[in-house]
């Protein structure tokens, strides 16, 4: 297994690139952790430094309380990124991570070169859905998107994973962005899976309303977790953008 380098309490790196031309910052989905992106550097240009965000309450931050409010999460991630040496940056976020990446983009003093949002409706078009009231409802939502719901039925794993997963649901369901938010001065590329039950074509396309530069919509054949089931073609597309 590829081991991580702790860059910051919030950031992990799986390959050192001392003279990197570009930094790719990856933000996981609800319930996800930095290691989702541990092998991505193998398929990307050698001069790209891949940094993965590690939310509290999971893996090596398991003993920390998970963050369940968007503003606090985004402020902490933005501060961590601004402590890094200055370098051209691309942000990639999947599902919940897409909205987190968008909000980080809004706050960074030096805007990223590109924002890639994946598997998520534009935040100002999100449906108003309640936070799951029970662990059973959480498991059912994970099952509907073909996530690892079987693991959540194991009592020992439930005890470890469920607190952070429920916090993630509170964060994303409680996130109410301004529907008239000023577009970011950054190009946006939106990825989505053609069989993803959580997205609507019009709502994914609405990310175009949140950029003042340019927008591109890219589809993949998989469902909600197409970044795992179709990772090779996802990374081929992403590598081309990072090499440009």
- Residues annotated as catalytic are 95
Radius of gyration of the chain (CA): 17
Q: Which residue has the tokens 């952790």?
A: 33
Q: What is the DSSP string of 175-233?
A: ----TTPPPBSS-EEEEEETT-TT--HHHHHGGGGGBSS-EEEEEESS-TTHHHHTHHH
Strands, E assignment, the chain: 5-8, 11-13, 22-27, 48-53, 89-94, 114-118, 188-193, 215-220
Are 72 and 170 a contacting pair, CB within 8 Å? no
User: Which residues, listed in sequence order, are joined to residue 6 by a DSSP beta bridge?
Assistant: 12
Q: Would you state the structure tokens that stand for residue 133, as one six-digit string?
A: 């009231």
From the list 124, 94, 76, 127, the residue with the least C-alpha distance to 24 is 94
């Amino acid at each position: 297994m590829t081991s991580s380098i702790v860059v910051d309490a919030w950031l992990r790196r799986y390959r050192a690139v001392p003279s990197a031309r570009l930094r790719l910052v990856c933000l996981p989905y609800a319930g996800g952790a930095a290691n989702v992106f541990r092998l991505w550097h193998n398929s990307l240009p050698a001069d790209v430094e891949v940094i993965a965000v590690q939310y509290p309450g999971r893996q090596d931050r398991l003993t920390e309380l998970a963050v369940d409010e968007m503003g606090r999460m985004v402020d902490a991630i933005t501060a961590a990124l601004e402590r890094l040496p200055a370098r051209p940056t691309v942000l990639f976020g999947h599902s919940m991570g897409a909205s987190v990446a968008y909000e980080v983009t809004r706050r960074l003093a030096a805007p990223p070169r590109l924002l890639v949002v994946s598997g998520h409706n534009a935040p100002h078009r999100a449906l108003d859905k309640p936070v799951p009231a029970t662990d059973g409802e959480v498991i059912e939502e994970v099952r509907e998107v073909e996530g690892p719901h079987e693991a959540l039925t194991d009592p020992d794993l439930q005890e470890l994973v469920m607190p952070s997963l429920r916090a993630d649901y509170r964060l994303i369901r409680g996130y109410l962005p301004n529907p008239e938010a000023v577009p970011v001065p950054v190009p946006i590329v939106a990825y989505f899976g053609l069989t993803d039950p959580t997205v609507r074509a019009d709502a994914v396309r609405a990310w175009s309303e949140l950029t003042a530069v340019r927008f591109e919509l890219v589809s993949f054949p998989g469902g909600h977790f197409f970044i795992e089931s179709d990772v090779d073609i996802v990374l081929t597309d992403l590598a081309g953008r990072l090499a440009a």
